[in-house]
Structure 1
């Protein structure tokens, strides 16, 4: 699948290749069941590590926003039903800063399905701008980790590995502290 994607990109000029990659990523985000791994891999092989990572990030961010709008429009009447689901109740019933932090945290945590976060956020009270910012910032570590997985962590210099670890911890610690503080303040 990666080879076919790269073959398609090879047949396009650079601007159309970028546009096509972002468009495919948006489509995958709206569907919510196909992993974007092969798009990220194709982007890295075709555009290089940093260019491919950036294009994948842009596609993931725009894709999440488009999916958010479509899910919100389609599930407008389903909010009540979703708020009874134990695992999604916290996000569905949240708004403002709490919803922002929850989305940010859920995006940063590996292996939380992106479509599920977008779906739950779409029936919550969060504004689209807050969703977009929280989702995009939270996707940075996820896309970088995916890119590093594809590219091969051992190909990078030890100093870059160390910098990425420090950056990830630096992002996670304040988010987790805020959520814990907020949670215990409510009780």
Structure 2
């Protein structure tokens, strides 16, 4: 079996495996997807919190699965990150959210690169602009892109897939970069939902985040001017 055949065999098996998992969830919990969709679209964070928490210890798996799933298909995962701090507490909620984000983004990155690899190479080679952009597709650039809270993951994923960054470097940038973003998103969501109890801490967090990211933006601007 050639490497190409093996690669496509593994991809097909992966797709079939995912389909079987999704089908099994539908079989065991017929209202799972419809309930998740309804609560997410309605923005019912209290309902989403209660529904995920109703799974008990399995709520950890449910949360990671949903965050990974929506990231893999390019849908924002903010509602799930927002409620995780309430369900699991700040520390565990951050870790659980980070795991789901990293897994989902890696799946999305690999799917995008697999489907668009040949086209991306041709486009990058023909475009001076894309060649210039691709020269910045290093760990540091992707890491900074992932580290911005509430930034659409799909945009950074698309850029990464069209670049020459390796799978290993992307994983490193993804894993490190998503940590500060997830900390802010889970913490901010937790305190917003409990704003009467944590409004002072929320204000301090907002000021601190604005100061840190403002300083990073200023440093990058200064380096560009020079």
Distance verdict in 2 for CA 1:150–1:111, change over 3 Å: closer
TM normalised by structure 1 equals 0.74
Corresponding position: 1:140 with 2:179: yes
Q: RMSD across aligned C-alpha pairs, in angstroms?
A: 3.5
Structure 2 gap segments, 5+ residues each: 1-38, 40-44
Q: Equivalent of 1:151, from 148, 171, 190? A: 190
Corresponding position: 1:50 with 2:91: yes
- Alpha-carbon offset, residue 22 of structure 1: 0.8
Looking at structure 2, the residues matched to 47 and 73 of structure 1 have their Cα atoms a distance apart, in angstroms, of: 35
8 Å contact kept, 1:94–1:126: no
8 Å contact kept, 1:29–1:67: yes
Q: Equivalent of 1:37, from 68, 75, 78? A: 78
Structure scoring higher RCO (CA < 8 A, sep ≥ 6) equals 1
Distance verdict in 2 for CA 1:126–1:179, change over 3 Å: farther
Q: Classify the secondary structure of the residue corresponding to 1:7.
A: helix
Structure exhibiting the larger radius of gyration computed from Cα positions = 2
Corresponding position: 1:13 with 2:56: yes
Looking at structure 2, the residues matched to 61 and 23 of structure 1 have their Cα atoms a distance apart, in angstroms, of: 11
Instruction: Count how many residue pairs are aligned between Structure 1 and Structure 2.
Output: 177
Corresponding position: 1:99 with 2:138: yes
Corresponding position: 1:26 with 2:68: yes
Looking at structure 2, the residues matched to 110 and 43 of structure 1 have their Cα atoms a distance apart, in angstroms, of: 16
TM normalised by structure 2 equals 0.63
Distance verdict in 2 for CA 1:177–1:46, change over 3 Å: same
Q: Which residue of 2 aligns with 1:119?
A: 158
8 Å contact kept, 1:82–1:89: no
8 Å contact kept, 1:105–1:176: no
- Alpha-carbon offset, residue 8 of structure 1: 3.3
Q: Classify the secondary structure of the residue corresponding to 1:126.
A: coil
Q: Classify the secondary structure of the residue corresponding to 1:75.
A: helix
- Alpha-carbon offset, residue 24 of structure 1: 0.7
